[in-house]
Structure 1
Amino acid sequence: MDKIVTSLREFKLTNDIKNMISSIDPANKSTDLSAVLRGYYDKDLIGESEYLALETKIVLKRFCLLMEQKFNGLMHGVYLYDHKTNKVWNASVPNIPTGYNEYSNGASVEEDIQIGEHVPEQMKSILAVPDVDRAEDLTSLNHKKDLMKNGIYAYCSAPLSCNGSVIGHTAMFSKMKRDFSDKDLVQYNMCNQLIVENLLLKKEQLIRVFKNENRL
């Protein structure tokens, strides 16, 4: 999992990669993006870190879009946590305002850790905030300015954990104040577990590819 976090932290789309990806016909629903990326990797057009980051982003973007269908009116994002630097990195943020994405990618969450704790508050348990402006929890207080500046007035976050270790969190954002029902929170938590499971499956698949080719 650390390898995925590192790849996302260091990932930058070069002009060459952008041109290659833009050449893929989005209208062709039969296009297998994973196969396309693997082809680029096999031809040494993209490196191991770029391949891993792009594969991860594809998987998580699909989940975000599916969750946005399930939770109407909410924007979804997935963030991975770098324990070494106490920063979070955007794993998938397809429809979240650009300004907030720029703020959140590589954002420090060190101040979101309570004294005596080891992980940020938003990665300990589900956090539902119906009104950002009036919120008094540590996470909202630290990020309120940038949330509201980008038109986010309510949100709910949930931790992503792997083998007992927190690897990040997901978040669903609202452009207006919103109460989150108990049913919302239960369904959100269930979806979150699917994200973790599929992310882990993809991670293991990629590692097997690299091991088979002696590229690790």
Structure 2
Amino acid sequence: MQDRELIQDWESAGEANRHDYSVTLKSGKIAIIELKGCLDGNNTNIFERPPQAQEFIIWSVCSNPGADPRHNAWSGIHTRLSAEIISREQRIDGVMIWDMVCGTIGRKCPKTEEHKTRITEVGPFTLPPPCIYVMPATIASPRNNPNPTAQKLEEVEILSAFSECFKCLPEEISYVDFSVEHRGAETMRTTKIKRAGVVQQESSPTAIRRS
């Protein structure tokens, strides 16, 4: 991405930080990336948007060949991340699912099965396009912001750079909307995922109960 001038620079954040990578974008903004394993794991709940982050994304590296990334994405985004975003007011600009098992025999990628030209070769690696989920720019709040909708892809520069570099198509980008309301003593949130303007999955209102 740096060679193709889609970002200015990047660095590993080191063991002293909760996050993993800091990226200086073409615009000069700082994007912070925090790596996670499979999104249905308890570790997904543990994240912190650092103060210097102008963009903040979660990158899921789920290298267990038996894992189902589509199931993990829904479990992670609705069951885990949405509750943390709303209750702790920790904004996440997007989620990316992409690892070294994607596109292999163990986890065939439908994006490249019939379209081999969409593979990106980097040294010895052949990489399919990542799965990208764009989140709202604001925190859902029952009184002040009950229905925040996803940002546009181009509004999250780090995700737009990944998309351009690794040959994503517009209709493959997922957009996540949240709705939140009070029902009695409970705070209820609803998660909706759309692609190409079509709702792919929507939860029923679910109470936020953090362990």
- Give TM-score, length-normalised by structure 1: 0.30
Higher relative contact order (CA 8 A, sep 6+): 1
Structure with greater proportional helix content: 1
- Give TM-score, length-normalised by structure 2: 0.30
